[in-house]
Amino acid sequence: MEAALNNMNNRFMDKPFDKFTFVVIDVETTGITRDDRICEIGMTKIVDNRIVDKFETLINPDRRIINTIFHGIEDWMVEDAPIFEHVAWQVARFIRGAVLIAHNAAFDMRFMRYEFQRVGTDLSHYALCTLKLARRLHPEFPYHRLDYLLGRYSIVNEWPHRAGADADSEARLFLKMKNRLEFRGLETLRSLRAWGLPYNHKWCSKMDINGNRRKPRTLTRDDLSITV
């Protein structure tokens, strides 16, 4: 069994990027504490170096939004939006089998994990962080904020700080950065790790919303127990 798992992990680590499905995720939140909630989620799927699908929805966080100044989402805008529990299976289905990508992945993935933990499951996906990738790929840049990187790569974001538009622009940024990685011969997760870029980040630590150690589980319909 252990040998089989090692072989499976080796195949995964040596799998060319072009063979992966990637999903870029961006979330907007009510605040930045453990008790805050997601109020909007945007996801963009990449297959065969092409953007093939998108998902975007406001989320009713069942609490006041105090981060409006950052994303422009106000309480009245989410009054009739679904709660996360009612879209959890759609999100799980969209990211199934994918490597996740986010700019400052620790933030977005932490809030994703908190929301899934509230409905009794967890994330167990691998992830890449375009912020960490940009710092490694472009040490000469004075900044590595998303807006700065988009400008340097001549990518237009039609609606900055909204989840759907950010996820879309991050996906286009990743595709261009991936081309530069491949030009350097960096085409697998193993080669990225050898280059000094981990494919997992701090958000993957086995910590739940209550601060207790637990083992993450792969998302399944049985875990979520949600009818869509």
Helices (H) and strands (E) in the chain, counts: 9, 5
CA–CA distance from 44 to each of 10, 14, 15, 202, 226 (Å)?
27, 24, 21, 23, 23
Q: How many CB atoms lie within 10 A of CB 68?
A: 15
Q: How far apart are CA 214 and CA 104, in angstroms?
A: 23
Quote the distance between the C-alpha of residue 94 and its chain's center: 12
Catalytic residue among 71, 125, 144, 161: 161
Question: Taking the CB of residue 51, how many other CB atoms lie within 10 A of it?
Answer: 16
Instruction: Give me the residues paired with residue 25 across strands.
Output: 43
Determine contact, residues 119/42, Cβ cutoff 8 Å: no
Strands 21-29 and 38-47: antiparallel
Q: Is 201 a catalytic site residue?
A: no
Copy the structure tokens of residue 210: 């209550």
Phi, psi of 226 (to 5 degrees): -120, 135
The Cα–Cα gap between 125 and 203 comes to 11
Contacting residues for 202 by C-beta, under 8 A, at least 6 apart: 106
Positions marked active-site: 161
